[in-house]
Amino acid sequence: MKNFFKKLGEKIKANKKKTVVISVVAFVTVCVVITVCCLSAFLFNRFATGYVPTDEQLAAAKGQYKRVVIIGVDGVGDFFSKSYTPNFDTMFSDKVVNGTQINASVTYTGTALYPTISCENWTSMFHGVRPVYHGFIFRDTNQRVENGEQANEEYPSFVKLFLDQNPEGKVLSVCTWRGVNNGIIEENDRITKYNSYPNDIYQFLENYDPVTKTAANVMTVVDESEEATANTTIYDNIPGIEGELYDYISNQVKMYGYADETIEMRDAMTMQRVIAETVNNPDKYQIAYMHLDQVDHAGHSFGYGKPGYVNAVSRVDMLIGRMYAAYETAGMLEDTLFILCTDHGHRLPGGHKNHGKNTKLEVNVTFAIAGKTVKSGTPGKFINDDLAPIVAYALGVKGCDKWQGKVPYNMFTLLG
């Protein structure tokens, strides 16, 4: 009997070792499978597919447009597909204008690059490479470009290449968020840059303070960071009517439906500046870029899809309508390539850090393009670093050999 139990114990012990080995192997296998799946979704889906235009294709594209207008809407993600946006729909629809066929290509499932942060993605869009290459990845990147830090010179932007290849060319860039002009776009005396800041406060206060304007010298009444959450700064040391005005504005910031009252005015000034500069000087600029920021502010304050976020998208749509009407009146639609793009989306419910990760709401982005050489329908796979080669191709500019972005399939008629 004693030997029986001894042998039984030895068998159990041996089987236990096998069980442990099998469990370890199974665990490692599961980890490998999960890692591969995550890498596939996380990295491999962010590699561009499309055309690298030949010299002959670039020559055929050159001269098709007098200008490319890029409307950058920060933080809107895919929400143009879920909002009532009649002006966006009009700008990016197939139509005949004065006998010229204009087609549109739109996707709401474009891909933002990781991390889904403004600096990382806008820099990739201008410089044609993923964040790890252009040098801005994590570590206070938004603040770094705001302070004037430049991207890796090894990967020039489409703006620089256009100016290098067109000695008479000129570029306009008007931004509500100063990071694009201060750091992302290179410096050049043929680039006209405006940041809609700080005159917004001056104009805002004029509506409430016809007597004194000294308070307008203060640059902002809200936290002026990219990750602003509508937290207000308290100005207890400002006496008299100026202090009362700041109290008024600070209270308005917290109103339902508003992330930051000043940001609406700044976006409106951004759009108005682009319209005035390009319509009054139709042959001056071959590239006009604008950055609109109120949707991102609303995303931080309220969260993706919330009423305040929806309101911000609607206000941006009205600005788009203002531009379309001005270009239509000026007879500039036929010779313009319109592009609308965005850097990232937002998670729910809102807050200081509600983008930067890899969720669907943060990663999916809108990309829309309309012009006489655009192929109607839905483009092939679009990734944010594709913007640089798209703009370069449309202007007949040879891109950088080190760019990782490509011109997506099914976007332009002249590329097949």
pLDDT digits (tens, 9 = 90+) for 300-322: 888 888 888 999 999 999 999 99
pLDDT band of 223, cuts 50, 70, 90: very low
pLDDT of residue 22: 53
Q: Does the residue 208 lie in any domain?
A: no
Nearest-angstrom CA–CA distance, 42 and 33 = 14
Identify whether residues 72 and 153 lie together within a single domain.
yes
User: Of residues 307 and 157, which shows the higher confidence score?
Assistant: 157
Identify whether residues 3 and 141 lie together within a single domain.
no
Are 29 and 363 within 8 A, CB to CB?
A: no
81-99 residue pLDDT tens? 999 999 999 999 999 999 9
Taking CA 169 as the corner, what is the angle to CA 157 and CA 121, rounded to the nearest 5 degrees? 20
Q: What is the mean pLDDT of the chain?
A: 80
Identify whether residues 33 and 58 lie together within a single domain.
no
Q: Does the residue 383 lie in any domain?
A: yes
Q: What is the CATH number of the domain that holds 171?
A: 3.40.720.10
pLDDT band of 44, cuts 50, 70, 90: very low
Range 280-301 average pLDDT: 94
Ramachandran region, residue 345 (left: φ > 0; alpha: ψ -120 to 50; beta: rest): beta
Identify whether residues 19 and 159 lie together within a single domain.
no
Q: Does the residue 353 lie in any domain?
A: yes
Identify whether residues 20 and 77 lie together within a single domain.
no
pLDDT of residue 211: 31
Q: Which residues pair with 287 in a beta bridge?
A: 68, 171
Identify whether residues 348 and 309 lie together within a single domain.
yes
Nearest residue to 68 via CA among 383, 285, 381: 285
Nearest-angstrom CA–CA distance, 326 and 320 = 10
50-61 residue pLDDT tens? 999 999 999 999
Identify whether residues 56 and 17 lie together within a single domain.
no
Identify whether residues 19 and 96 lie together within a single domain.
no
Identify whether residues 14 and 77 lie together within a single domain.
no
pLDDT band of 152, cuts 50, 70, 90: confident
Most confidently modeled of 106-115, 245-254, 260-269, 349-358? 106-115
Q: Does the residue 214 lie in any domain?
A: no
Q: Does the residue 280 lie in any domain?
A: yes
359-404 residue pLDDT tens? 899 999 999 999 999 999 999 999 999 999 999 999 999 999 999 9
Q: Does the residue 221 lie in any domain?
A: no
Our count of domains for the chain comes to 2
Nearest-angstrom CA–CA distance, 43 and 276 = 42
Identify whether residues 276 and 389 lie together within a single domain.
yes
pLDDT band of 222, cuts 50, 70, 90: very low
Give just the sign of the alpha carbon dihedral 37, 38, 39, 45.
positive
Question: Which domain range does residue 109 map to?
Answer: 51-200+254-415
Q: Does the residue 11 lie in any domain?
A: yes
Range 172-187 average pLDDT: 94
Identify whether residues 16 and 63 lie together within a single domain.
no
Identify whether residues 294 and 345 lie together within a single domain.
yes
Burial of 372 (0-12, 13-18, 19+ CB in 10 A): middle
Q: Does the residue 245 lie in any domain?
A: no
Give the H or E element holding residue 363: helix 360-363
